[in-house]
Amino acid sequence: MNNELGEELCLLQPIDPLPADADTIAQDFRRYLDYHLGRFLGCDTVYLYHALAYVTRDHLMADWRNTWLHYQDPQLRRAHYLSMEYLIGRSLGNNLLNCELAEPMREAMERFSIRLEDVEAKEPDAGLGNGGLGRLAACFLDSCATLGLPVIGYGLRYEYGMFHQHIENGHQVEDPDHWLRDGHPWEIERPEFAQTVHFGGRVEHFTDAQGHEGARWTDTEDVVAVPYDIPIAGYRNKVVNTLRLWNASATSEFNLMEFNAGDYAEAVALKNQAENITMVLYPNDATENGKELRLRQQYFLTSASLQDVLRQWDGRPIEDFAKFNVFQLNDTHPSIAVAELMRLLVDEKRLPWEQAWEISRSCMAYTNHTLLPEALERWPVNLFESLLPRLLEIIYRINAEFLAEVRARWPGDMERVRRMSLIEEGPVRQVRMAWLAIVGSFSINGVAELHSSLLRQGLFRDFYEMWPERFNNKTNGVTPRRWLAHANPHLAGLLTDTLGDGWQADLARLEGLRPLADDAGFRERWCEIRHYNKQRLADLVAHYAGVRFDPSALFDVQVKRIHEYKRQLLNILHIIHLYNCIHSGDEERVPRCVLIGGKAAPGYVRAKEIVKLANNVAAVVNSDPLVGERLKVAFIPNYNVSKMEVICTGTDLSEQISTASKEASGTGNMKFMMNGAVTIGTYDGANIEILQAVGEDNFFLFGLHADEVAALRPQYEPQQYIDADPDLAAVLQLLESGHFNAVEPGIFDGLIGSLKSPHDPWMTLADFRSYIDTQQRVEQAWHDTERWSRMSILNTAASGMFSTDRTIAEYNAEIWRLKAIG
Ligand code: 26W
């Protein structure tokens, strides 16, 4: 046996799992603390967290390796999830839960008089995402591992994640999130699998000795992509999948240049430019801003990931590639993959174009996450030309062949050709990334029934007419491990007592709760747990917002990114209406605590004004002695994954109030429902499916439907609503009087103007009356404690279909077609 093979065999051996008893864990913990970290028991808790994380990671290693070994089977088809964002949050608690280590770990810590919760709280959130799309990717990874599916997540290892938000005088202020500062104990750097990614340069065309034409991309600036692997443990099934995040680093040529005395500083500056690629996550959610660095990031992720997959394919017949590999594109952000795979197959593997196209088109699948026009990515052709010249050539050729198909199918329909072209003509020619993703994929899906049908009828209509069989729906979900079992341990205990173990990975079993809604004893236990969770939430609010919430009040919560289409403004108008009611002596109202939280994109002025208004209204309401305990309003700063783990368990009323047709799905709505909150919502996104699952009696529906929104838009006259509705008029009058900005005259004029404009795309005032009336129905229901607890139980009972296990099972059955382990 030669040495290399020997080493390889040795590498391929499985390793044994470590003993998971409290004694061993306690010992290992001390060893990490004393011998690895060089700290001692009385040190800052953050080091205790590091020691615990290392101990936990050690326990994942054997299964991680065995899973990886299993995936080396050449007969195994694999999926590659490409996403610019993974909003993971904390990992320790989740890994302890999934690997059944929580109890021995707790016991081990008790020996040192350490509370496990205190240590868990020291873990910084990995905020490598903006909002829904990034969190969905994280939930998907959890479900893929739990279902034993060979799926690897590919992403970027941003040095700075989503900014931290703090509030100064009511305004949002952003602070950098240097989440890696103290090190990241979950990751393993694997420089041996580094890839090189090219930028810039020019393209040479040639004919080879066999007479085949070829292209050479030369004089490029190269950047090295170094992978960092993070283990993703399935729920108690010994499967550990991988999230592979790329870090940009300068090539060794840069280092050589550094020695080139003359240009030392210049060389180091170039090195920085290379490493800048993965420096920071763009904090825009749903607005595309056309920055060159963003395109660099997208290509960097895509090229490194595709090369990594091809590296693993090396030595196998390329004709079989699509049989064993599938890529899921998380929105258009990685859609350059369509052209990059063509480049790798045609230029590097020297495949004929037609064969490469057949392969490429058979292994790409695209998920759309938004219909908002401002979110649709378009890149200027000249930016492409200078940054990725060879990819632009490839896109042009894809486009030429595609448009020939369109012309053949619809002869003479020039307008259709113009609409469908991958290149948008105009003063600035642009590449339409969504069109590229559609043309290059065998599957295109939306993320809720309504959203997928709007894609087919609207945005993607031309493409649907051409390839109806490519379009499908995959309604989103959330992982019940993090969002129920981990976030809500008391409720989880009750569920296990009632339904037996196993609901965590088979959420449809929650249906078994339905009959218990009629059981007074069960309702009482349910309410005790909810009360405990509400106290926990009240503590969180007191700590971060300095506002006291009384757990016996109705907890009314809207947390999500701040965006006009999500209509936090409608919520605020309702708060002002309640304030008016209290002032006019209306004694019917129930005590209510309203919580709002979320980040505004730093450049989104209107969204920042909404944050300011929420804070100002809160300040006025909370300090008004006449209001007292009847109404409290808080804005929780720096809303993130770990805060949501507390918030969703203590919420009574979940606000999902987007303008119908604008919220593709929503996933916060599912976290709330699963934990027993009742939704007040519009007929939008996954709200519709939540309503269907739980029934009209257990959901507060209001507002215009998507078709009504569309029909009303051309003749929308907000003033008519104001004239016809004294409550609305009073709310606006109070706002306009400067009551909430007495020392800051005029600051809300823009916001108020947008509400009153016939061009308000979100048509907030059209839904005001319906919203206010429905909120009153909420209060009637709340008065009846028994009815409310019934609704709460029935919401949890009906939440089974919103597990990402169901979502991922559908992706697998209809798109990926992978064989599960085991
Ligand atoms: C290029 C800027 C940009 C950045 C992010 C454009 C668009 C996005 C995302 C598509 C925004 C997003 O997170 N969309 C959300 O995706 C969730 C998961 O599918 C859905 O539940 C939300 O409704 C949708 O807004």
Check residue 140 and give its pLDDT. Answer: 99
152 three-state secondary structure: strand
Q: What's the CATH fold of domain 480-802?
A: Rossmann fold (3.40.50)
Whether the predicted pLDDT of 260 surpasses 70: no
**pLDDT confidence of 1, banded at 50, 70, 90?**
very low
Q: Cβ–Cβ contacts within 10 Å for residue 612, how many?
A: 23
Q: What is the DSSP code (8-state) at residue 192?
A: G
Check residue 11 and give its pLDDT. Answer: 58
Which of 289, 368, 369, 684, when mutated, tests ligand 1's pocket best, judged by the most ligand atoms within 8 Å of its CB? 369
Check residue 2 and give its pLDDT. Answer: 35
Tell me if 137 CB under 6 Å of ligand 1: no
Tens digit of each residue's pLDDT (9 = 90 or more) over 237-250? 999 999 999 999 98
Residue type, 420: M
**pLDDT confidence of 86, banded at 50, 70, 90?**
very high
Q: What are φ and ψ of residue 61, in 5° steps?
A: -60, -45
Mean pLDDT of the chain: 96
Whether the predicted pLDDT of 287 surpasses 90: no
Cα-to-centroid distance, 369 and ligand 1 (Å): 5
Q: How far is CA 794 from CA 647, 665, 680, 699, 764, in A?
A: 20, 21, 15, 10, 30
* Measured distance CA(460)–CA(376) in Å, rounded: 12
The pair of structure tokens assigned to 45 is 């808790």
Whether the predicted pLDDT of 822 surpasses 80: no
Residues of the chain with CATH 3.40.50.2000: 73-89+125-161+171-475+809-816, 480-802
Q: Which helix (H) or strand (E) holds 595?
A: strand 592-597
**pLDDT confidence of 271, banded at 50, 70, 90?**
confident
The sign one gets for the Cα dihedral 108, 112, 118, 121 is negative
Judge whether 676 and 491 are in contact, CB under 8 Å. yes
Length of the chain: 822
Report the alpha-carbon angle 180-185-191, nearest 5: 80
Cα-to-centroid distance, 558 and ligand 1 (Å): 17
Start-end of H helices in 72-98: 92-98
Q: What is the DSSP code (8-state) at residue 549?
A: P
Residue 512, judged by CB atoms within 10 A of its CB (0-12, 13-18, 19+), counts as middle
The residue that leads in pLDDT, 667 or 7, is 667
Q: Cβ–Cβ contacts within 10 Å for residue 233, how many?
A: 29
Q: Of 2-11, 239-248, 579-588, which one has max mean pLDDT?
A: 239-248
Report the alpha-carbon angle 546-548-552, nearest 5: 155
Tell me if 331 CB under 6 Å of ligand 1: yes
Whether the predicted pLDDT of 259 surpasses 70: no
Mean pLDDT over 304-328 rounds to 97
Nearest CA to ligand 1 atom 6: 286
Only one residue has tokens 């283990």, namely: 231
**pLDDT confidence of 251, banded at 50, 70, 90?**
confident
Tens digit of each residue's pLDDT (9 = 90 or more) over 648-657? 999 999 999 9
The pair of structure tokens assigned to 159 is 């040095």
Percent of the chain with pLDDT over 90: 93
Pick the CATH number of 73-89+125-161+171-475+809-816 from 2.40.128.20, 3.40.50.2000, 3.40.50.150, 1.10.10.10: 3.40.50.2000
* Measured distance CA(669)–CA(47) in Å, rounded: 36
Report the alpha-carbon angle 286-229-142, nearest 5: 60
Mean pLDDT over 40-57 rounds to 96
Mean pLDDT over 394-413 rounds to 98
Nearest CA to ligand 1 atom 21: 666
Which of 333, 370, 374, 433, when mutated, tests ligand 1's pocket best, judged by the most ligand atoms within 8 Å of its CB? 370
Q: How far is CA 102 from CA 99, 147, 254, 494, 509, in A?
A: 8, 21, 47, 18, 24
**pLDDT confidence of 52, banded at 50, 70, 90?**
very high
Q: Please, which residues have CB within 8 angstroms of residue 353's CB and are 6 or more apart in sequence? A: 342, 346, 397
Mean pLDDT over 98-102 rounds to 97
**pTM score, two decimals?**
0.97
Report the alpha-carbon angle 145-442-84, nearest 5: 50
Check residue 288 and give its pLDDT. Answer: 82
Tell me if 369 CB under 6 Å of ligand 1: yes
Only one residue has tokens 């990114």, namely: 561
Residue type, 27: Q
* Measured distance CA(251)–CA(222) in Å, rounded: 7
The pair of structure tokens assigned to 373 is 């026009």
Residues involved in catalysis: 369, 560-561, 566, 667, 671
Check residue 539 and give its pLDDT. Answer: 98
Cα-to-centroid distance, 562 and ligand 1 (Å): 13
